[in-house]
Structure 1
Amino acid sequence: MSATRSPKVSERVAPKAADPLPSKKKPRDDEDGPDFATLLNAWLESHRSSLLDSLRRLGKQPIGSFFTCLVMAIALSLPMGLSLLLNNVERLGGSWQRAAQISLYLQMDAGNQDGEALREKIKELGGVGEAEYISRDQALSEFQKQSGLGDALRELPDNPLPGVIVVTPLEVDKAALEALRQRLSELPKVQQAQLDLVWVERLAAILKLGDRFVFGLTVLLVSALLLVIGNTIRLHIENRRTEIEVIKLVGGTDSYVRRPFLYMGALYGLGAGVLSWGVLAFGLDWLNDAVVDLAGLYGSNFSLAGVPVADGLSLLLGAVLLGYIGAWIAVARHLSELAPR
């Protein structure tokens, strides 16, 4: 009986044929590491969180944040406002070409035909923009009106005024103008060539001095702005010292710690740029009323130009960069002190 059962037992206990070895699964691409899209989304999310955190912290102190931006805006407005005023002074000086006109006094025997022919000849010369001929009779009539001596001048037997050709140069350059004056004085029928460039030179010297003053003031105020934003960011760092030490203790990188403060500095700069643009626009508009009244007394329709859009955008960009740089300097200076204890 046992013999008859042994085959069944042997069949029952006999090991089954070994299954084929399972094939190793080919690792998927995502098991090699995060792909570029995942890294990009994580990077964008980190920056978004830092920006929102900076906005939230600034919003908790609206008055302090506003006055910090206002101080920065005033410092930005001073050099920018002076630069805009200098540009308006250049416009107030009028066309420098007309300011540097050359007056050619013709000989007394030069008639209208001679004057017109000479005017056409002068217009063809290089460096000449315009040429206008004023006859003797026209010069006498204008002098009678402007001097108030019309009756006395009528008693004169002959017209004492010569014909004049007024030459407007293409550009204002002292050496070139003097050479042009010398060449015009040698033309036939020209008795004297007069060039009055003194006040133009004085205006150019004043504007050059103003440009240097604005540059020096800009350097000083930019340095002051960096100190202001650096001190402000330093206070924010001190208020979050414990939080930052914990972040670095659990493995937070320097860039992760630095990022919210850089956004905060850029936001301070953006707010200062907007306020500075508004201050400049309001200040020029307020000053323009007095300038228009003063210009009207001299028979001029001059008015101050506002803040050009290009200059305003440059002001905003510069303010944001200053805030960012100031924050970077402050964080880089204090980051080594934020190591966990």
Structure 2
Amino acid sequence: MRLDALAQRVGGDLVGDPGIEVHQVVPPEEARPGSVVVLTDLRRLPEVEAARVPVILACDAPATHLPAIRVGNVRLALALAIRALIPPTAPPAGIHPTCVIGSRARIGEGAFLGPCAVIGDDVTIGERAQIHAQAVIEHGVQIGPECVLHAHATIRHGCALGARVVIQSGTVIGSDGFGYAQDAGRRHVAIPQVGRVVIGDDVEIGANVTVDRGMLGATRIGRGTKLDNLIHIAHNVQIGEDVAIAAAVFIAGSTRIGNRVLIAGLVGINGHIEIGDDVVVMGDTGVQYDVPAGSIVAGHPAWPRMSERRAQAARRRLPDMVRHLRELEQRVRRLEGG
């Protein structure tokens, strides 16, 4: 691809030879002719300059003699450049002979069903969907067009996926929620989980994630939401649109999460609470109570981030404060004794 065409694809301004051909995006240490570097760390600019390859960098980055595409959002430019130069590939349409397909299943035009995939009764699979090896889709599931289910993904009965949903390996959508009642002898009696999971368009879910079906009604994940690996979403949780959740997050049942919420890794969220739109939850936080829209919270329990930072700073001073307090106690005792 010519450099001027790449500049147009990433929405940047080109300074330098527009006719240079580039074929791949590489990190600075792998820079070589035919490649382009998207510079997210300006400290590495001299390294790229020594390699003499084109660079994509921020509008306010230092001047460089290299052919450069200057952009307002470097991370977005990275995503767009990779999409332009390394487009995703899809397997050829068709159904592998080892697939097991139930009765009344409807397979859309251009779909791919890989080796040993299992498709239950009354399943609908949209056009150009990819169902990879040993994926399991139980009865009554709806899979939208252009979805991708990677190997060993499982979609339990009655669940629905919108268009262009990506499910990574080992993830289970629609497992039974954790719901029990105790009888007179304090024995646990399972409450049937008869709801389902509904996932909106353009959702991406990482590997080894579990999303429990609703006890009654649905567990929902809104359009454009992205989930990292190793996340648990309990029954009847409602997640809004364009939410991003990092790994090792656990969300208890019936909690509601608004739109555009960002949740960092290693977070626990209590059940039956509400997290408003545009909230940011910092890593290693325990959210026990409702969080108002637009808040940034951290700590155990979660509270405003700046309050948590001040508390952390105070905790670091505790040993010195204890020592000073003991010295003051000793002085008081001497004065009282005198």
Q: Same fold (TM over 0.5)?
A: no
Between Structure 1 and Structure 2, the one with more strand by share is 2
Between Structure 1 and Structure 2, the one with more helix by share is 1
Q: TM-score, normalised by structure 1?
A: 0.18
* Structure having greater relative contact order (Cα 8 Å, sep ≥ 6): 1
Q: TM-score, normalised by structure 2?
A: 0.19
